[in-house]
Amino acid sequence: MTPQIPRDTQTAAFNNAYASAVAAGDPRFNAKPYDKPGLSRGGAQWNQAGIDGANKMAEGIAAAYSQDLQTGKANSDAALQSQRDERTNSLALAALQQQNNYANQLAALQRQGMALNLMSSLLGGLTK
């Protein structure tokens, strides 16, 4: 009986690594190194092949999950960096907007001052 793949890990790389690990656990494949020319396979060879298969399958499944975790970490790191970049760009845009508002306010004050100077010079000229 082969272990079931959890539903939360469905990437192709994980599925391929997992399937390879399960295939590596087949005792028929693992019994071949113990064959001797002219002799049939005995129970001890099959037992050792089963042990070897279980070890290979366990190592392969662990490697598949490790690879999946590393891929998930890399994806999370990339998403986090993207969010940091977006925040930095948002803050820079807000600073530029603030500077633009400040410049517009200064320009408006300067126009008001010029208008007041013009009015005072006109009114000042009338009073003399």
The answer to the question of residue 16 being in a domain is: yes
Number of domains in the chain: 1
65-98 pLDDT, tens digit each: 999 888 889 889 999 999 999 999 999 999 999 9
pLDDT value of residue 32: 83
Q: Are the beta carbons of 19 and 9 closer than 8 angstroms?
A: no
Stretch 15-23: mean pLDDT, rounded?
92
Q: How far apart are CA 111 and CA 109, in angstroms?
A: 5
Question: Domain limits at 34?
Answer: 12-127
Q: How far apart are CA 86 and CA 1, in angstroms?
A: 48
24-70 pLDDT, tens digit each: 999 888 888 887 777 777 888 888 899 999 999 999 999 999 998 88
The answer to the question of residue 6 being in a domain is: no
The answer to the question of residue 93 being in a domain is: yes
The answer to the question of residue 63 being in a domain is: yes
pLDDT value of residue 90: 96
The answer to the question of residue 1 being in a domain is: no
The answer to the question of residue 7 being in a domain is: no
Q: Name the amino acid, one letter, at 18.
A: Y
Q: How many CB atoms lie within 10 A of CB 22?
A: 18
